[in-house]
Copies of this chain bind each other. A is one copy, B any other.
């Protein structure tokens, strides 16, 4: 059979059910399993829709002898009911089988580097090297499909709401998003460089100035960070902006998008509106600006309890303007080694130490510091924590920020669910406008285009000023963030100045943007969220690499194609660049 002259298939695997019994069909797909039994060969044929069983007599079909796992074949045959007792209720096609009349090997398969089976654990590097086989596994195939469904749901929702999808350029100038830019040498302007976008931030603001009013884009973005556990050089975000918009307009439309995606991928109706916490509340209660509220274990303030404590550590912390707080870690086994391990963890989070207490059956508290505590204090502690027998209480004393951060970190370690079966979306609003660096300098906490809640506060107490910035959080994962933007060029200049960018530098770097703000810029606000992270959580995966079709390793390598690679000196010469002697040496070393 010349495959170009024949219909390669009449049906997809799962389209063949009892209704097709007696019909002649042609299917095409991959051999998932082969069993030889009683002189008959059974082939499970898999295509994108699922699996169907083919039965062939090897004596009738020369091809059957050669067929191995993952061969790509087409089979023509007649659909028939499976013999009684051999039905498979787990398969949509489990009532029928195809009696093979013609079997064509479209493409042979060599020995597989791993089995196409979700139950087989394979080293990630090998999976990435053979990604085209890894993606055949049901879980990965489902992830690809879910991702496509997610972006389709996003677009459907925004199309219906009258948004325009606008493509912004990807060969742009550096913008100050906080991470390192990925640079691209220009050939026509040798020696100069474009940057790939960290986000389309300024272009979407320009679109607002251009009068687009409702913009979105599912945009590829780039950050050249040192790969942390779960970052990629390139990632995808839903980017969105609206003119004549306030914060609540943004929250409303983003909620509608997230709800649509959750419905598409999980079939659930997430209730709206999502809970909203101010940044202060989130930090106070959960010790995190991206709280996971699927479980309690909220942070309790004990500063009043210990205001007069005889325990020096607590007293000193409070007197220094700090705080004493804790969490009730619930009933759990407790031992010296467990205590030591958690104390080490707390120190990694920035604590000087960790105080633990266990409520005994008789209501007394066992703790290394028990002897320093008065009876009223003990009673108040138990009351504050609603603590009962067996509960483990963990306390920290330090500055407010350190205390809540440490307890927030421990809270996650002790209580965080291992999966994403449950979905808890929420908003964190009213972020600080600026952050203080270790040297006392001021930097932006969102980005320098975020508007302050109050101009007066910004001018008078910049370190305490609140911004119109907000984050969307799902199960403790920061999905994305947004803000009401500055639309007044004078305010924008003021913010640059507070950030220590002198007027000349501001003019040089952002002059073109300050100029753009001068022509009737509408008030506007927007948002961006990471598609990779959202799909990861909804697909119950623990790494974004599971939902990115072709990800790279943590050193930016593609084990399949070998990218990146060395290039010819002549190519570089055309771009007006050359390798440094260090790079040359690295190359020679690798080639040797």
A-side interface residues toward B, CB under 8 Å? 3-4, 8-9, 28, 30-31, 46-48, 70-72, 74, 106-110, 112, 130-136, 141, 144-145, 147-148, 151-152, 155, 159, 164-174, 180, 182-196, 202-203, 206-207, 209-214, 220, 222, 224, 226-227, 233-234, 236, 244-247, 468, 484, 487-488, 512, 516, 518-523, 548-552, 555-558, 560-567, 571-573, 575-580, 582-584, 586-587
Contact = CB atoms under 8 A, between A and B. Distances in A.
Interface centre among A31, A227, A244, A555, by most chain B C-beta atoms within 10 angstroms, is: A244
Contacts of A155: 152, 155
A374 to B, nearest CB: 50
B186 A184 contact: no
Given A522-B28, A586-B576, A136 B106 contact: no
Contacts of A132: 206-207, 209-210, 516, 519
A159 B166 contact: no
Contact of A192 (B135, B171, B566): B566
A206 B555 CA distance: 23
Given A560-B512, A563-B171, A579 B576 contact: yes
A219 to B, nearest CB: 9
6 contacts: A4-B523, A133-B209, A135-B212, A151-B165, A190-B586, A195-B563
A578 B141 CA distance: 43
A166 B148 contact: yes
B244 A549 contact: no
A245 B212 CA distance: 40
B48 A136 contact: no
Contact of A236 (B130, B167, B190): B167
A193 B566 contact: yes
Given A183-B567, A519-B70, A152 B133 contact: no
Contact of A552 (B134, B145, B151, B171): B171
B550 A203 contact: yes
B211 A519 contact: no
A592 to B, nearest CB: 15
B8 A244 contact: yes
Contacts of A207: 132, 135, 549
Contact of A48 (B203, B214, B557): B214
Contacts of A578: 577-580
B144 A164 contact: yes
Contacts of A563: 171-173, 194-195
B184 A144 contact: no
A450 to B, nearest CB: 13
Q: Which 9 interchain pairs have the tightest Cβ spacing?
A: A191-B583, A576-B583, A135-B210, A109-B520, A72-B520, A192-B564, A48-B213, A8-B244, A148-B164
A523 B557 contact: no
A478 to B, nearest CB: 21
Contacts of A191: 566, 579-580, 582-584, 586-587
Contact of A550 (B46, B169, B187, B192): B169
A133 B519 contact: yes
A165 B156 CA distance: 14
B48 A167 contact: no
Contacts of A584: 191
Given A189-B556, A518-B109, A173 B565 contact: yes
B562 A173 contact: yes
A252 B359 CA distance: 73
Contact of A47 (B186, B213, B562): B213
Contacts of A575: 183
Given A107-B520, A135-B211, 20 more contacts: A4-B523, A8-B245, A30-B520, A48-B213, A107-B523, A133-B209, A134-B210, A136-B210, A136-B211, A147-B167, A148-B165, A170-B234, A171-B234, A173-B558, A183-B575, A190-B583, A512-B562, A576-B580, A577-B577, A578-B579
Contacts of A214: 48
Contacts of A144: 164, 166, 212
Contacts of A185: 183, 185
A233 B189 CA distance: 13
Q: Which of A112, A185, A586, A587 has the most chain B CB atoms inside 10 A of its CB?
A: A185
A34 to B, nearest CB: 13
A227 B74 CA distance: 47
A525 B422 CA distance: 41
A130 B519 CA distance: 10
A402 B169 CA distance: 40
Nearest to A116: B211
Contact of A8 (B74, B152, B523): B523
